[in-house]
Structure 1
Amino acid sequence: MSTTSKKWEIKSSYPDDIVGAILKGRKLEAAEFFGNDYNDLDKLAQLDNLPPAKKLIEKYKKGKIVIYCDYDVDGICGGAILYRILRRKKYNVGYYIPLRRDGYGMNKKAIDKIADDDVDLIITVDCGIRDIEEVKYAQEKGIEVIITDHHKVGKKVPDCLIIHPSLGKSRANLKLSGGGVAFMLGKEILENENVAKWFLDLAALSTFADMVELIGANRIIAKYGLIVLNQTKNFGLISLIKYSELSLGDINEYHIGFVLAPKINASGRLEDPKMSFELLVTDDKCKADEIAKYLVELNQKRQRIVGDFLAELVDKVHARGVGNLIYEINENYQEGILGLISGKITEKFYRPSIIFSLSGDKLRGSARSISGIDITNLFAKHSHLLDNYGGHSMAAGLSLNKKNLEKFVKLIEADIGKLGVAIFDRVVRIDVLIRANQINMKLVGELETMQPFGIGNPRPVLMLEDVAVSRSLLCGRDKNHQQLTISGAGGELEAILFNIKENGMLEIGKQYDIAFNLQKEIFRSRNSIKAFVRNYRTK
């Protein structure tokens, strides 16, 4: 949250139909948004090559198949979906997950290992679309390959069977997660919708964690996946939820993004991602408990490491000033935390950032960007200086030789500079400007029908103008939050402002415009309405 944003963008003012105005402002059709259900998934997620992929998989019913998946939540959950489905169908199936230090995607060392195990077919999950040489290498060793991926497609693609949302007739479904693509292939293999639905818990985890837009097919996967997750039969998820001090039946999108997903990611960030994969595919309750407890501890360790490095880096950035791009090299950074540090730095300073680890002359980096700057496209423009790269518009990974760094950074900084300084202005995007007397439990209920919230469908941001603070109380362990009563426009509203050390305080008696989210709170069986202040400006 920023309380010093220069521009407030208000999409609708004082509408009678608040939810209708929000959807219109987001260019979403109400009938489609609310009308689509699970039965519409196949129509909305039409992927090429599903039947041919199923046929190729069936060719090796008596052979050996390996699921080759990426090491993040998306890849691990998607890989677990296919692994469990093929195991259920009595296939001889194994899996391979590279360590982060091995780099993203397929690699020849891994293929050699797989070939030594007499594997007939590799199915990738959440990787492979740029691995032209690696696929060819596998084929030369007599291994067939099916690529399932959702990352940006290069000018050329591997010469094998590919299932990808941006290829062929499915070009409109660019936003499926890697796990979403894997789920659609799993459905095809199973041919049993009643069974397939039970894998939506893993598909939802990948969809939320990979931050794809929650519209169309993704909204269906996320919505129904949350329902399945709250009734999950997956022993690993049951254990992880238990040791995260959560309860089945109460899991929402926040818990996935900020509680469960980080723990699944922790093994790949600091140790071996196979640990999280084993959690999600085990049928042993004791083993699930053991792994879940360890992942909770590992994630706490990860939080401490990132916190220490981040505090140090923030001081460095303040000392040297903020330019068009923030980048940092540190040989002590573990590759698994680069993206986390980059994301935090970009969020704090609102600049694209690249955080590198260094080993010899080899730099591996993770980048995060801001609205209006497609970081992967910028990398593609100067790919002659890189050994490897890939990702999305807002997040990417790369590797390069240290000797190319200075030239590469200057070119990226110059490209960003051409976009103008206005690109760095934080914009407070308001869905609707309303009156205080429009706020009631009925409105809160109508807003909740838009769930699940996430990228592409964020929790609605409402605005009140010319309101005053009539009550203020500091709260929280460090007294870093402010409980408020907001008065004006014919009503009163209870509110809270978090992190006043960063965001400042609202003062009693002053007039403000406030941007906020509305949520229902339940305390001792009593419902109430609370506003969570996202931003404010003085009058």
Structure 2
Amino acid sequence: MDGARRWRLRQQAPPDFLARSPYPALVRQLLWHRGVRSEEDARRFFGQAPAEHDPLLLPEMDKAVARLRRAAREGEAVAVFGDFDVDGVTAAALLTEALSELGCRVLPYIPDRYAEGYGLNVDALRRLAAQGARLLVAADCGTTAVAEVEEALRLGMDVLVLDHHSLSPRLPQAAALVNPRRPDSRYPHAELASVGLAYKLAEALHDALGRDFPRRRYLELVALGTVADLVPLVGENRWLVAEGLRALSATSRPGLRALAEEAGLGGREVDSWAVGWVLGPRLNAAGRLAHARQALDLLLCRDEAVARDLARTLSALNRERQRLTEAALARARARVESAPLGSLVFVADAETPAGIVGLVAGRLAEEYYRPAFACERGDTLSRGSGRSIPGFDIAAALRSCSHLFLKHGGHPQAAGFTAPSDNLEAIAAALTALAERELAGADLTPCLEIDAVLPLRALRGELVAWLDRLRPHGPGNPEPVFLARGVTVADARPAGADGQHLRLKLRDGPVTWPAFGRRLGERAPQPGQRLDVVYSPVRDRDGEGALELRLHDLRPSALATT
């Protein structure tokens, strides 16, 4: 029953860290692990101090606002070109609504993942120009679209780029390139998602036009896109998401209300888990298996009946996405385990749809603790997606062999490419060789980072209230992870349709806690057995919000014989 993961207890915070603050010792420890270094940092973390920054500090934001102010005053046709993931769709929805209400004639456009691929493309630009667009706003794409922006200019369109992806050596000649990763950026927070950039642009544009800014209506879109895109929930992102989740729980959008109802969230608080695991996958399913325009239509929908139909369609697509993902994972695991395991996993499969390769790569990286790529192998073109581990910049890895791709881009931990199928073997060899060099000597055994030892009997009301204040959780502010030793199994039973999960009742002295372990079904303990468990306290996802334990791992207790 021993797990394959290492357990590592994180270092203690310095004893004098926030010693005179009102925060309990365990909370100070958790704040230290999340990068808080001063009482002012802590005040901002807990929302007691402003965390928003001036939009005009973003590079070329002033140019973007000036061009859009003219478009709004003259009622110009403005094309809003998004992406097919939740960040790109929410950014497109926010800009479509904001620019329409400010006087522009908006032409929203989301590319087809299969027919067009990621980012700007010449055929789409020509169609938008033919519809009268003289200004194009690229949201969640465009940073590397040098040739496409040149074509847009030739067609008579000005181009504004709102993007957070990694920069290439050559930048497009856009009228404004608003990207917080630019080296000339004065903006204090470089991790905004593209929907966050769209929000900042809309805020600055409303101010420039002397119009009231309906921030709550747009913050719910920011929360959706920011959480789903897995950007760090620190600094301004944390504030935007916290405010956005409050707005989302009381949304007036028919589409989001219908989607929450269809997913079983009706009437319940929407937190970052609900976005990341329930709403986000349903919105993403449209772009993965059909067309992301369905997700955009749901966000913009004003008709209750149409919204319910769209919500049912997205939920059905999500169920199919789950089925396809599990089948693709089974094939991928079989390929990986048929050969010696190197420092990088690379699988290509003609049966795996391009829309789910990122999900497959993410699971492979998690299970094998290595950078992982999964690809849809086509007859002539192949599309791949990669996910990484700390210490290996996967976007930089693609740049190191950029001559092998037709398109590539992404972030240090997540990136993708389109390439000739004949190049896949060379791509796999180049990326594997780079990983072997950069990860030489690294321990590639999966590791569980544990914040502190916390016996289950110590989980009491006041501490639980403090832990609740650490939400919303996500990258950069993960759920606290604790170790409890010597707990007794009061009950254990499999869960899920195929028994791959595990439900437990764990006793520690006078207290008993319900617990749930994803993919721990094969390691079910016996009632009466004593365990050491690594866990996070979370709100019950299937009930009324009561507290339960999410198990990350378990082992027979070292205290079992004492």
Deviations 1:389-436 (A, max 9, x none): 100111111122233322221221122112125341212111122345
Give me the identity figure in percent: 27
Amino acid at match of 2:502: H
Instruction: Give the CA deviation at 1:152.
Output: 0.4
Amino acid at match of 1:452: P
- Which of 225, 233, 236 is 1:217 aligned to? 236
Most deviating of 437-446 and 306-315: 306-315
Map of 2:335 onto structure 1: 316
Instruction: Give the CA deviation at 1:64.
Output: 0.9
Map of 1:409 onto structure 2: 428
In structure 2, relative to structure 1, the CA distance for the partners of 1:347 and 1:503 (3 Å cut) is farther
On the 8 A contact 1:44/1:173 being kept in 2, the answer is no
Map of 1:190 onto structure 2: 206
Amino acid at match of 2:69: E
- Which of 24, 27, 31 is 2:32 aligned to? 24
Instruction: Give the CA deviation at 1:337.
Output: 1.4
1:303 maps onto 2:315 in alignment: no
On the 8 A contact 2:56/2:204 being kept in 1, the answer is no
In structure 2, relative to structure 1, the CA distance for the partners of 1:401 and 1:252 (3 Å cut) is same
Aligned pairs (5 A) from 1:8-19 = 8-12=8-12, 17-19=25-27
In structure 2, relative to structure 1, the CA distance for the partners of 1:334 and 1:362 (3 Å cut) is same
Instruction: Give the CA deviation at 1:193.
Output: 5.6
Map of 2:140 onto structure 1: 126
Counterparts of 2:215 and 2:541 in 1: how far apart (Å)?
34
Map of 1:252 onto structure 2: 271
Is the partner of 1:424 in helix, strand or coil?
Answer: coil
- Which of 161, 167, 176 is 2:192 aligned to? 176
Instruction: Give the CA deviation at 1:509.
Output: 6.0
In structure 2, relative to structure 1, the CA distance for the partners of 1:36 and 1:44 (3 Å cut) is farther
In structure 2, relative to structure 1, the CA distance for the partners of 1:522 and 1:452 (3 Å cut) is closer
On the 8 A contact 1:80/1:281 being kept in 2, the answer is yes
Most deviating of 505-514 and 2-11: 505-514
Map of 1:70 onto structure 2: 83
Counterparts of 2:329 and 2:373 in 1: how far apart (Å)?
13
On the 8 A contact 1:186/1:196 being kept in 2, the answer is no
Instruction: Give the CA deviation at 1:521.
Output: 5.4
Counterparts of 2:212 and 2:390 in 1: how far apart (Å)?
38
Deviations 1:256-313 (A, max 9, x none): 1111111111111111111111111122222222211211112112222222222232
Counterparts of 2:543 and 2:346 in 1: how far apart (Å)?
49
Instruction: Give the CA deviation at 1:249.
Output: 4.3
On the 8 A contact 2:7/2:450 being kept in 1, the answer is no
Map of 2:46 onto structure 1: 34
RMSD (Å) for aligned C-alpha atoms:
2.6
On the 8 A contact 1:44/1:216 being kept in 2, the answer is no
1:159 maps onto 2:178 in alignment: no
Q: Structure 1: which 5+ runs fail to align?
A: none
- Which of 115, 119, 125 is 1:105 aligned to? 119
Most deviating of 442-451 and 365-374: 365-374
On the 8 A contact 1:9/1:427 being kept in 2, the answer is no
Aligned pairs (5 A) from 1:366-515 = 366-418=385-437, 419-420=439-440, 422-465=442-485, 467-476=486-495, 480-487=501-508, 492-499=511-518, 501=520, 504-507=523-526, 512-515=531-534
Amino acid at match of 1:203: V
Is the partner of 1:513 in helix, strand or coil?
Answer: strand
In structure 2, relative to structure 1, the CA distance for the partners of 1:249 and 1:3 (3 Å cut) is same
Deviations 1:18-41 (A, max 9, x none): 11111012221312211455x541
Most deviating of 441-450 and 11-20: 11-20
In structure 2, relative to structure 1, the CA distance for the partners of 1:335 and 1:435 (3 Å cut) is closer
Instruction: Give the CA deviation at 1:194.
Output: 5.1
Aligned pairs (5 A) from 1:246-285 = 246-285=265-304
Q: Structure 2: which 5+ runs fail to align?
A: 16-23
Instruction: Give the CA deviation at 1:437.
Output: 4.6
Counterparts of 1:103 and 1:519 in 2: how far apart (Å)?
38
Counterparts of 2:284 and 2:529 in 1: how far apart (Å)?
45
Map of 2:67 onto structure 1: 56
Most deviating of 63-72 and 363-372: 363-372
Is the partner of 1:170 in helix, strand or coil?
Answer: coil
Counterparts of 2:151 and 2:144 in 1: how far apart (Å)?
14
In structure 2, relative to structure 1, the CA distance for the partners of 1:145 and 1:410 (3 Å cut) is same
Amino acid at match of 2:32: K
Q: Taking structure 1 as the reference length, what is the TM-score of the superposition?
A: 0.92
1:84 maps onto 2:103 in alignment: no
1:531 maps onto 2:545 in alignment: no
In structure 2, relative to structure 1, the CA distance for the partners of 1:242 and 1:361 (3 Å cut) is same
Deviations 1:471-512 (A, max 9, x none): 233253555414132436xx6442424246566234566654
1:241 maps onto 2:260 in alignment: yes
